[in-house]
Amino acid sequence: MNSRHRANLKGATSAEEAIEVGGKAPEAWKAITSMVGALRNIRDAQYDILRGTGDDARYAQILKTGHGEVRGLNPDDVPERILESMRTRRYDVGYLLYLASIDTAYVPGSFEERDEEATVLVDTGIPDGPLLDYTLAVTAIPTPPAPERHGFEQSPDISLK
């Protein structure tokens, strides 16, 4: 997206506002809307390639925090709606405008580059969930009780008559 489209929007943040602003704003909004699909394709390809690290838990944690979209991401400095788009990967025009307005948007080129950006995620060695004890233990199988007889038992007749 070039700066011409942003300038033509004149601050409009929705299709309705673009129509109200008039001029070239509706045309710019339409052009930017068509770019959201391209952004989605680029990000999907990026995540499909970078997913193959073998460490799915770390990859999920990186995505959950919004890393891999913007260099030097500090979640406290990003509007909640934008951060939610980063975390869920549900992109819209507002998110695309946000990416275009900052100069730190990027696509990681390697696993190392992606992990370097996520330095905020320090592995403390403490699991997030409850601890489970997986030590082996021998459990004796109790002898089943003898069947209770009622006097109506009868052996089946299997002779050929």
Question: Given a cut of 80, is residue 110 above it in pLDDT?
Answer: no
pLDDT in tens, 8-58: 777 777 778 878 878 888 888 888 888 888 888 888 887 777 766 556 666
- Say if residue 120's pLDDT is above 60: no
**Rounded to the nearest 5 degrees, what angle is found at the Cα of 118, between the Cα atoms of 77 and 92?**
55
Q: Between these two residues, 93 and 118, which has the higher pLDDT value?
A: 93
Question: In 11-106, at which residue ranges do the beta strands (DSSP E only) sit?
Answer: none
Identify whether the C-beta of residue 59 lies closer than 8 Å to the C-beta of residue 50.
Answer: yes
CA 131 to chain CA centroid, Å, is 25
Residue 146 has pLDDT above 60, yes or no: yes
From CA 63, how far away is CA 45, in angstroms rounded?
Answer: 14
pLDDT at 143: 92
**Whose CA is closest to 99, among 120, 76, 79?**
79
Instruction: Tell me how far apart the 2 most distant CA atoms of the chain are, in Å.
Output: 101
Does residue 133 surpass a pLDDT of 70?
yes
Cα(152)–Cα(161) distance, rounded to whole angstroms?
A: 24
Q: What is the mean pLDDT of the chain?
A: 77
- For the range 84-92, what are the long-range contacts, defined as Cβ-Cβ under 8 Å and sequence gap of 24 or more? 87/63, 89/40, 89/43, 89/44, 89/47, 89/63, 91/36, 91/39, 91/40, 91/43, 92/36
Give residue 128's pLDDT. 56
Lowest mean pLDDT among 20-24, 85-89, 92-96, 117-121: 117-121
**In whole angstroms, what is the distance from residue 52 CA to residue 141 CA?**
44
Share of the chain above pLDDT 70, in %: 78
pLDDT band at 95 (very low <50, low <70, confident <90, very high): confident
- Binned at pLDDT 50, 70 and 90, residue 119 comes out as low
